[in-house]
Structure 1
Amino acid sequence: MAETFGHHPWTVQDLVAGVSSGRVRLPDIQRPFVWGNAKVRDLVDSMYRGFPVGQLMFWENAAAEHTKAIGIDTKSQSSSMQVVDGQQRLTSLYAVVHGQRVLREDYSEELIVISFNPLTQRFSVPDSATKRSSEWIQDIREVFESAIDARSKYLDGLERARDLDRLDRGTERAVEIAINKLADVLKFSFEVVQLKEQVSRETVADIFVRINSQGATLSSADFILTWLSVFWEEGRHEIEEFARRSRFTPQEMTRSTGENVRWTPKNPYLTLDANHVLRVVVAVGNRRAPLGDAYNALRGRNPRTREIVPEERERELEKLKDGQARALDPKHWDEYLKVIERAGIRTSSMVTSKNTVIYGYALWLIGRTEFNVPVDELREVMARWYFMAQITGRFSGSPETRAQEDLNRLDGLARTPQVFKEVITSQVDTTLTEDWWSVTLPDNLYTSSTTSPAFTAYLAALTILDAEVLLSTLTVKDWIAPSRRPVKGVEKHHLFPKAYLKAHLHITTTRQINQVANQALVEWSDNIDISDEAPSCYWLQQVAGKTIGDERLSRQMWWHALPELWTEMEYQEFLVARRKLMAQVTREGFRKLSDPNYQPPSPARVAASTSEPQLPSFDELVHAEIIPAGTYLTPADGEKDSIAEVTQDGMILLDDVEYRTPDLAAHADGADDANGWDYWSVELEEPMLLSELRARGGEPA
């Protein structure tokens, strides 16, 4: 293949001059994003010391319509060399040597600055220490512009800082050598592999993919975007532009572009990137969630012969174009955002999985554009699906596999609104079973993470139920609205204050103190007043100081899952009781999502539900020593030889990873759909299912 490329030396000075004039440009098969500043620093340091930094690859092609300029300034010369490999290094060098701003991955502009200490010959990303020190040249661009001027300026500054008329000759000589050596970085020679002009764009793209596949530096999404640059350049641009605009309001885009921008995809839940948009496009158009499979299909590669079939490639591209037209339609995106809001999610901090947002949009598009479900009906059914997916952490593990399962459920069905709604409803109902609400959810609320799916679902339920902040006339929904920016507003208050737990109950572990079942939403001023008093003291004082009537207080206590006489409970007893009540409130929020004629529960119904017997959690069984620490758990079906061990903290240790519930441990063992209590057998006096031991209230047979 010698006739397709040649080797040519390029100095750093030649390279940056070529970029500056526009002779060397960035092809659309790469995105114009640069390394982090620390990596740029390391590149300059390696060249300064004469270390190898890898070769570059260019393509001799003057077709400027397929290129993007490096940096954000305009170029004066048409392209003759397009960068195939080495874009990050070349962009970084250009930015540092010429002081040009570059685009970051969030589409913000940044000036990359690297500092240099000639006395120690060290490079650094500027910080407060280097900026205060006279021993540092703050920006090495000064050296590249004029080594003589940079040396004089540096020596003068050093003499003033040391209060000397003149530095000693040895120091001056060391500084001169170091600065001249830095200036010689411009003479550092790169070996450039130059592909000949006759090499096709598809071949260039294939070379790029092969190079980056070896280093595993790119994702399947990057490969698809590369492929799009060859076969549908406009489509890739649309994807990236949709993602870019999700970061700005129409007003901000209008100021930035000078054009009258009336709509952008910006939303309070998710800042999109090209990968997010691409996942929706291929899921809707090509019915594929794993992007690796989608890439192979788009290439038209026969899985048996491994040959490219152009006809198949064209068919897959047409499917992708169709999916993209639907995914990027503003009316579809705006309507889908109402689904997330309907599910009780108000801000990005409540989104526990970006994949839930992305794949939820794909399902919504299929329901709307293929099954013709009316918008209002689709919003309700998909809000329940979103709530289910979020609260169960559906896409927390193997998200592509899960999403493909969801897509497969819709294959080969009659394209009617009723069929789509039945499929989605069935999935929700079979996931959120009676046991799940009464057993699994309270278990999942055994956590100190306020960003866990279970706790954020509880907060979502409070917004759905129009609940008020505890001991306040403000609603939870209003206080976590995306448009509100209070200096201090609603906080998560420890119902049993931290200092009280430490000083009086001798509970010092953060995991126990910060249990979500020990936290409730209160106004900031109330949180300050509560301080570190015992609940039995501050609660009566707080209630007495409010003008909230008994009926309203009763509703608030139910919304915030406060058990009757909770201030008199032992701390662990309180946590157990409140988790169960939080699960019931969460379920009530889901009921309101599911029932257009929903009525709030009556006091009698609430009292009855709280008096129902509850099965103990795994943690409770361990702490009660019903299941002693060190006990082994094994799969009950005998098909696997996995062995898990119960830890002192009430966790399940499997393959050196701790899991909080039997469900999570079973899923980690490959049983995605299994009930963990039925999956594990506990080795006590005689083996028995965890579910059997639990049903007996923890008493062995």
Structure 2
Amino acid sequence: MQKYSVNQYLIETVLAWVKSGEIAIPEIQRPFVWDGSKVRDLMDSLYQGYPVGYVIAWKNPNVKLKDGTLSEGKKVLIDGQQRITALTAAILGQYVVNKNYKRVKIKIAFHPIEEKFEVQNSAILKDKTWLPDIAEAINGDLFEIADNYFELNPDVDKKQVRNAFSTLINIPKKQIGMIELAPDLDIETVTEIFIRINSKGVVLSQADFAMSKIASNTEYNGNELRKAIDYFCHLAIAPDYYRHIIDNDPIFAGTDLFQKMQWLKSETEDLYDPEYTDLIRVAFTSKFNRGKLSDLVSLLSGRNFETRTYEASIAENSFALLREGVLNFINETNYKRFIMIVKSAGFISPKLIRSQNVLNFAYILYLKLREQSENAVSIESYVRRWLVYSILTGRYSGSAESYFDYDIKQISERPFAEYLKEKEAGELSEAFWNSSLPQSLDTSVASSPYFLVFLAAQVKANDKGFLSKDISVCDLITHKGDIHHLFPKEYLKKNGLDRGKYNQIANYAFMQSEINIKVGSKSPKEYFELINTQMEEQNLQVTGISTKEDLRRNLDMNCVPYSIDNMSVQHYQDFLYARRRMMANKIREYYFSL
């Protein structure tokens, strides 16, 4: 089956399709990020007769309406938006929405004597040898424009200028290539075609397709929904952007969607700052009980999976359901309670969670359990435990979509407690805690998810930093404290150990810098002799800990074997082995306390 056709169209034909809506360019699917110089260069290429590449459009399938008639599908532009938007700006003189979501005009000037283009500026406006805006020339009366130009510039070569004017106004008669993808292709095939055709190797994700689909829909307010998704994500990172929306998008600012996200204007929490991909995935999966975004694209098109036809009622219902999902996501109570649950598990900083998909599914789980009217106490425990289970097993680090799809179906069809118990029995067995986890802690990567879970366990237990009397691990993480070596790095280097050996996470602990300085490059035996002497003399210089009992408690909470006080380099490997097992045990106790 031919998956696409390749055609050449006049630029004026493509622009007419844009004006009529035959080609849908979502307003903020991807903001116009070209600067004026790129628009200028595109005009120059067309003027010179150079090729400007292909655009890719995917025709929406024809949809069956309630009265049984078919609605002709529009073409959705999935690649080439910047070029087409540049043409509408320069040739039609239309506004574009820039990367700051401001409506602006990009005016391109033309010098007919030198036959060159430039972005309009104040100097050009004062120079009568320039046509200040080619849109006015292309859409105006050529004879009148020429007469005005010759009146201002009587000494120019009129034949040369007329030829330049003629070439300029014929730019819309130049051709642009369009690759039109068949309407019955599935999303995976469209993605594959896009990747193969696109010479830059840009990966267009299924979320991008979903966003295109949402943004190009006006019948069910998809364009408004797309703005809500985009603005929420922007506000989550930059709350002061709120004022910009009020000033520059008053229509959206008057919607109920905007009212629901106003709380973000004073929100500074950065633990979970979603991108649009995250928001759409959570909203979709939690409401549709599906994990594959390709299904969302199909459902928003009105696809009936049983009859393989497209029906307007399915599209309408899908947009309504997605809107519910988005509103649930951006709801202040939901969002803040979810963050509170994550923090209550010890994950107080984004530095402690490497996988955004772990947070995404934890939020999906929270929303789903609320929908199922699970009691609040159980929800907190289940979300905390699933979050940590997901990190420890690397559940969403590979084929995340497939696992999302599988997990949401299980959660929708049976009690979550039953499903969680099954996963724990299969993947968090005695062998995991006693063998697999200690082996996973055998790494030099400080951002290891297992080490981050260990730190979360310390935060939840309100543990103190290594050798600290009062300063907690939570304080050190929050206020940018440092991870230091229990067997000092310089000491191990001096004894011939390389980077991979001394930078072991079983040799890491959060430690106050002033304590680390006192420890210096001494062996543990040496610096513990100093600590013990100072405790006996109550001359506390290395640490504020003043009794052996307090010292042992500190070693316990940091999973440091007591025997460290008599260790030198020859004991290092035994130390690492012992501490890994202690760390694994702490993580285990922490997990089952959640």
What TM-score do you get using the length of structure 1 for normalisation?
Answer: 0.58
1:278 maps to what in 2?
Answer: 280
Residue from 330, 336, 348 that aligns with 1:334: 336
Secondary structure of the corresponding residue to residue 351 of structure 2: helix
1:511/1:58 CA distance change after superposition, 3 Å? closer
Secondary structure of the corresponding residue to residue 468 of structure 1: coil
Alpha-carbon distance in structure 2 between the residues aligned to 1:192 and 1:207: 29
Deviations 1:148-185 (A, max 9, x none): 99xxxxxxxxxxxxxxxxxxxxxxxxxxxxxxxxxxx9
Give the AA of the match of 1:462. Answer: Q
2:513 maps to what in 1?
Answer: 524
Q: Does 1:257 align with 2:253?
A: no
* Mapping for residues 256-335 of structure 1, pairs under 5 Å: 257=246, 262-264=262-264, 267-303=269-305, 306-335=308-337
2:545 maps to what in 1?
Answer: 548
Q: Does 1:373 align with 2:401?
A: no
* Mapping for residues 543-582 of structure 1, pairs under 5 Å: 544=534, 545=541, 546-549=543-546, 550-566=548-564, 567-568=567-568, 570-582=571-583
Residue from 429, 449, 455 that aligns with 1:453: 449
1:84/1:347 CA distance change after superposition, 3 Å? closer
Residue from 205, 214, 224 that aligns with 2:210: 224
Identity, in percent, stands at: 25
2:29 maps to what in 1?
Answer: 31
Output the aligned Cα RMSD.
Answer: 4.9
CA displacement at 1:188 relative to structure 2: 11
Alpha-carbon distance in structure 1 between the residues aligned to 2:175 and 2:186: 15
1:214 maps to what in 2?
Answer: 193
1:208/1:588 CA distance change after superposition, 3 Å? closer
Tell which deviates more after alignment, 351-360 or 584-593.
584-593
Secondary structure of the corresponding residue to residue 457 of structure 1: helix
Tell which deviates more after alignment, 348-357 or 206-215.
206-215
Give the AA of the match of 1:214. Answer: I
2:353 maps to what in 1?
Answer: 351
Residue from 235, 238, 243 that aligns with 1:245: 235
Secondary structure of the corresponding residue to residue 464 of structure 2: coil
* Mapping for residues 193-204 of structure 1, pairs under 5 Å: none
Alpha-carbon distance in structure 2 between the residues aligned to 1:285 and 1:499: 55
CA displacement at 1:401 relative to structure 2: 1.4
Alpha-carbon distance in structure 1 between the residues aligned to 2:442 and 2:277: 34
1:303/1:26 CA distance change after superposition, 3 Å? closer
Secondary structure of the corresponding residue to residue 520 of structure 1: strand
Deviations 1:43-102 (A, max 9, x none): 77994997533156999xxxxxxxxxxxxxxxxxxxxxx98853223567999999x997
Between the two structures, name the one with larger relative contact order (CA 8 Å, sep ≥ 6): 2
Alpha-carbon distance in structure 1 between the residues aligned to 2:448 and 2:90: 42
* 8 A Cα contact 2:270 2:350, kept in partner: yes
Alpha-carbon distance in structure 1 between the residues aligned to 2:336 and 2:321: 23
1:498 maps to what in 2?
Answer: 489
CA displacement at 1:271 relative to structure 2: 2.0
CA displacement at 1:442 relative to structure 2: 0.7
1:133 maps to what in 2?
Answer: none
Q: Does 1:387 align with 2:410?
A: no
2:406 maps to what in 1?
Answer: 405
Q: Report the number of matched residues.
A: 481
Alpha-carbon distance in structure 1 between the residues aligned to 2:168 and 2:190: 27
Give the AA of the match of 1:269. Answer: L
Alpha-carbon distance in structure 1 between the residues aligned to 2:508 and 2:189: 52
CA displacement at 1:373 relative to structure 2: 1.5
1:631 maps to what in 2?
Answer: none
* 8 A Cα contact 1:96 1:141, kept in partner: no
Give the AA of the match of 1:467. Answer: D
Alpha-carbon distance in structure 2 between the residues aligned to 1:536 and 1:435: 34
Give the AA of the match of 2:270. Answer: P
Give the AA of the match of 2:481. Answer: V
User: Which has a greater percent of helix?
Assistant: 2
1:31/1:311 CA distance change after superposition, 3 Å? closer
CA displacement at 1:267 relative to structure 2: 3.2
* 8 A Cα contact 1:285 1:324, kept in partner: no
Residue from 69, 81, 87 that aligns with 2:81: 87
1:301/1:339 CA distance change after superposition, 3 Å? same
* 8 A Cα contact 1:468 1:475, kept in partner: yes
* 8 A Cα contact 1:35 1:92, kept in partner: no
CA displacement at 1:147 relative to structure 2: 12
Alpha-carbon distance in structure 1 between the residues aligned to 2:168 and 2:502: 58
Give the AA of the match of 2:205. Answer: S
CA displacement at 1:525 relative to structure 2: 2.1
Deviations 1:177-196 (A, max 9, x none): xxxxxxxx99995746699x
Secondary structure of the corresponding residue to residue 565 of structure 1: helix
* 8 A Cα contact 2:292 2:401, kept in partner: yes
Q: Does 1:477 align with 2:483?
A: no
* 8 A Cα contact 2:341 2:384, kept in partner: yes
Alpha-carbon distance in structure 1 between the residues aligned to 2:8 and 2:584: 67
Secondary structure of the corresponding residue to residue 410 of structure 1: helix
* 8 A Cα contact 1:85 1:208, kept in partner: no
What TM-score do you get using the length of structure 2 for normalisation?
Answer: 0.67
CA displacement at 1:213 relative to structure 2: 6.4
Alpha-carbon distance in structure 1 between the residues aligned to 2:90 and 2:551: 63
Give the AA of the match of 2:582. Answer: L
Give the AA of the match of 1:300. Answer: G
CA displacement at 1:284 relative to structure 2: 1.4
1:531/1:85 CA distance change after superposition, 3 Å? same
1:188/1:84 CA distance change after superposition, 3 Å? farther
Deviations 1:424-483 (A, max 9, x none): 3543454322221111111111111111110100000000110001112111112323xx
CA displacement at 1:519 relative to structure 2: 1.1
